[in-house]
Structure 1
């Protein structure tokens, strides 16, 4: 029988976004966990459709959110982030063997919820007269996955706790702008995403601390070195401190957000 981690790897290589999202939701519902075998990395990770065109850095000409196309560009970028988030959850499941069953169950739940977010945004994008792939997108989230693919501690520190935590800060002002432009459906979707993302970042915080304890490391003290080594972007104010606290960040970590970067 195909193990759960083999199924995660197959889904990660799936090029069709709709099939990938549906598969991630079905995989979580199956509830089967297999943590044992080491898997060789095949080509084609992650699977991507022919569109959108991807760029390392992306600069859009700002468009008004009071136009359908302007909202579509923003909704498309959010859908792309959620598709990448599915891949990140699938990748951490197949790539790192030997973790407790709860580790894989947690990241399958994340993949399931990220898939729901993608589907909600995709469907809303259709309502605006566009489809996923109609606008260019960036590779930033997956770039960090590539850098940390041989280091579970760095992956946990820098993907859920850094890149995805930025979404906790960004979501409320983006939601307010969309609602202000009259797009209340988008506002409802972003409220769901923020609620779930607090849980996802909390999962990252939990397993980061578990891995730090296993290696005998201080989770607060070790973080700046990891951020510098892997060139993680420094979070920018304003910070959603309430959401970050709910996601399990310690007060020392929140205080460090406003300190000089020391090159990190």
Structure 2
């Protein structure tokens, strides 16, 4: 008898060890592609997972308490890569949670988020290697839990999840990545710049997946997507992006010119 895709995603989601989580996620994707896992759309959505599997470290603290370090120092360099690794680790959990949590969605939805989870696990491994090259491991620096907090806040409504996680929080990464790459270039870390080029390329696709499902859900509910998006940002007090926006990346991910104007308008 074939195993449930959703239960396999839950098992990977609850892995606390990062290496085990990445392995389980890669196996999930391979098993899905081979047909070893079954997806039965139309089932009831289970209760949300409020605490995913994650290691005891890093210490999670409020964003405003994170120390500011200059990338020109060795510690600041490592802390920057650690922050990126933490985002990628959380992104694995976010994608796995979509597969586990929203079982009533069609198989195409789950196929999309299985792919995203596998790519995020790959990204985490790439950044982890760069961090280790500087003599550090994931967990050495404190981090914040903003991505997962928003996942919990939107667990009751997939439309809000697609709007506020991929199209708000993850889309902010599209804007932030080019300046980070430039900082790394100035200190000669070309290897990490190469890693971020891969991540940026793939993240455009991840935001585009969120955009597509957000718009489909809006259509199913008779909602105008761009007005709904701005209203959800207000309702959830989600952070607006800090200019300059990566216009080309956001347009490729599904944003319109009108949306980009509305996002930065005071």
TM-score range, shorter chain: over 0.9
Q: Which residue of 2 aligns with 1:13?
A: 14
Matched, 1:112 2:118: yes
2:127 corresponds in structure 1 to: 121
5 Å matches for 1:68-217?
A: 68-217=74-223
Which range moved further: 137-146 or 94-103? 94-103
In the aligned structure 2, how far is the partner of 1:43 from the partner of 1:114?
19
- Aligned partner of 1:22 in structure 2 is 23
- Secondary structure of 1:137's counterpart equals coil
Tell me how large the CA RMSD over aligned residues is. 1.5
TM-score normalised to the size of structure 2?
Answer: 0.93
Determine the C-alpha separation between the residues in 2 that align with 1:129 and 1:210. 45
Residue-by-residue CA offset, 1:139-176 (whole Å, 9 max, x unaligned)? 01011001000010000000000000000000000011
Separation of aligned partners in 2, 1:64 and 1:120: 22
Unaligned runs of 5+ in 2: none
The unaligned stretches of length 5 or more in structure 1 are none
Asked if residue 220 in structure 1 is aligned to residue 226 in structure 2, the reply is: yes
Confirm or deny: 8 A CA contact 1:33 1:101 kept in the other structure.
no
1:56 Cα deviation after fit: 2.7
- d(CA) in 1 for partners of 2:75, 2:112: 36
Cα distance change, pair 216–140 in 1 and its aligned pair in 2 (3 A): same
> What is the distance in 1 between the residues matched to 2:84 and 2:264?
26
Note closer, same or farther for the CA distance 1:254–1:147 as it changes in structure 2 (3 Å cut).
same
Q: 1:67 to 1:56 in 2, by over 3 A?
A: closer
Distance in 2 of aligned mates of 1:33 and 1:114: 22
Of the candidates 234, 237, 240, which is equivalent to residue 240 of structure 2?
234
Q: Distance in 2 between matches of 1:175 and 1:52?
A: 24
Q: In the comparison of the two structures, how many residue pairs are matched?
A: 260
Q: TM-score of the superposition, structure 1-length normalised?
A: 0.94
- Mapped to 1, the partners of 2:118 and 2:161 lie a distance apart of 19
Q: Is the 8 A contact 2:58 2:142 kept in 1?
A: yes
